[in-house]
Amino acid sequence: MREKRLIAAGVAGAAVAAFGASLAGTFQFDDLALLSDPGITSPGGWVDCFRLIQTRPLTWFTFWANYQLAGEHAAVWHAVNLALHVAVALLLWDVLRRLIAPNAAVLATLIFAVHPMLAEPVNYIFARATLLAALFSLLAVRSWIADRAWPAVGWFTAAMLAKEEVAAVPVFLILLNLSRRRALPLAPLGAMFGVALAFGLRVVWATTVVPGAPAGAQAGISPLAYFAVQGVAIWRYLRMLVVPWGFTVDVELARPAPWLAAVAWVGIAAACVAAGRSFRDLRAGFWALGGLVLLLPSSSVFPAQDLAADRRLYLPMLALSAAVALVAIRFDRHVLAGALLALMAISVRYSLVWRTPEGLWSEAKLRAPGKIRPRLQLARALPPEPALRELAEAQRIAPADPAIAAEQGRVLLTAGRPAEALAAFGRALALDPTDARALNNRGTALAALGQMSAARADFERALERDPCLFDARVNLKRLGFGDVEPAGWCRYTPAERAELER
């Protein structure tokens, strides 16, 4: 018992040492959207978390609870993510010690606890879904190996409520029983596949009907083209598992030539065949195959705007860390200790990168010099003049991108240059004439120039296109024309409603 407590304390301490700097971090990127989501900020918003259209409802519920308890105190949000990672690491050790040699189980758990591949899901509040889904997936595995198959179905359902990308867990459980030469409980497996199918179809539907969804039909890439890229993406993940450098929040991954895509997938197939030679009795091959299986839902045919994302390896790392440990356990323990300390140091470095928007997006720009998003996000973190220089460079890369012109207008307006802002907002509107926000932005610049009638017309046209656009409605109210109540279906945060009711 004392030994178990010492191991648990060591695992928890290692995880906190690697990622504890996250507690000093801020809200980043999509984190900020959580603070303006009425389903999270409203006291009764927990009901909205379980709307049919809301994917990952269990994760959204934790966001709602986080906001109700801590408001916008980022340290508390980060503490929840860090605590979840520690819990996942401890549960992984509890599972692995029942399946593989004790020394290998401890090594695998320590690799998982400190590996920099996990820096993004731990440091990025919005990625909490990954942590929760991994936690419930491990609980499902623990119940499964204890011959409690129906409770495993319940834990798997909770994992799917946290993040639907865990849909391959039932396949992993089949492989687990085949490797252990155990019978398959068909009814519970059928229930799991039914749950996976139901939630999968719900995600496909939601990404079709939610405007601007970053996946599925609105991802901007076909399933076949996405599949072609994913072979290269998987090799990138595996390379970074072994050579842990080059992580970024915004991966730049070019679509490969057909021959290269074919070679990548043939290489993966060959690796699976090689792993199959050490599949039985939970040897390293089983864990390698299991990790690839857990990766497939996010890295096969269901398209997403982000062709690669480091956080997608969090769940597969539960198995891949065991594969690495079973191979590495024969090395000298001093070498292993040095390797773990090196991994921890790199994780600390990336956690420090995640502390500020400027640090995060400067790193992303360095890793993806041809992408626009890092430059846009970096511009939002910089003073006006350096921000405008970043945006000018972005405009040279993508002159037809309306988001760049809109951001230029915002920076110019902030810098007290409304005439130049008006021109920038006008370019953004010309590039995307259907965008209600572009009309509102132009109206804001017109109002700053004293052209109130023209500003009012832009705000009203913006509301014709989007009756719930808060910025346009509050701008009209500030001009003295905000008497019309928003439609009943409009969803505003409590602070926004208070602003409209003043």
Residues 13 and 113: their CA atoms lie apart, in Å, by 9
pLDDT at 483: 60
Residue of 369, 330, 346 whose CA lies nearest to 242: 346
Say which residues have a Cβ less than 8 Å from residue 453's Cβ, sequence separation at least 6: none
Instruction: Show pLDDT as tens, one digit a residue, over the chain (502 residues).
Output: 788 899 999 999 999 999 999 999 999 999 999 998 888 999 888 888 888 888 899 999 999 999 999 999 999 999 999 999 999 999 999 999 999 999 999 999 999 999 999 999 999 999 999 999 999 999 999 999 999 999 999 999 999 999 999 999 999 999 999 999 999 999 999 999 999 999 999 999 988 888 777 888 888 899 999 999 999 999 999 999 999 988 999 999 888 999 999 999 999 999 999 999 999 999 999 999 999 999 999 999 999 989 999 999 999 999 999 999 999 999 999 999 999 999 999 999 999 999 999 999 999 999 999 999 999 999 999 999 999 999 999 999 999 999 999 999 999 999 999 999 999 999 999 999 999 999 999 999 999 999 999 999 999 999 999 888 999 998 988 888 766 566 666 788 888 888 877 7
SS3 track for 71-131: CCCHHHHHHHHHHHHHHHHHHHHHHHCCCCCHHHHHHHHHHHHHCHHHHHHHHCHHHHHHH
Q: Which domains does the chain have, with CATH numbers?
A: 2-359 (no CATH), 382-501 (1.25.40.10)
Residue of 150, 27, 151, 12 whose CA lies nearest to 92: 12
pLDDT at 501: 76
| φ, ψ dihedrals at 390, nearest 5° | -60, -40
pLDDT at 482: 63
End-to-end CA distance of the chain: 62
pLDDT at 485: 64
- Long-range contacts (CB closer than 8 Å, 24 or more residues apart) made by 406-414: 406/437, 406/438, 406/441, 407/376, 407/379, 407/380, 409/441, 409/445, 410/441, 411/379, 411/384, 411/387, 412/384, 412/388, 413/444, 413/445, 413/448, 414/384
81 close to 59: Cβ distance less than 8 angstroms: no
Residue ranges of alpha helices (H) inside 382-435 are 384-397, 402-414, 418-431
HSE, side-chain direction, 13 A CA sphere, residue 245: 4
Residue of 281, 212, 225 whose CA lies nearest to 258: 225
**3-state secondary structure at position 215:** strand
pLDDT at 86: 98
pLDDT at 488: 62
Say which residues have a Cβ less than 8 Å from residue 383's Cβ, sequence separation at least 6: none
Report which residue type is found at 321: S
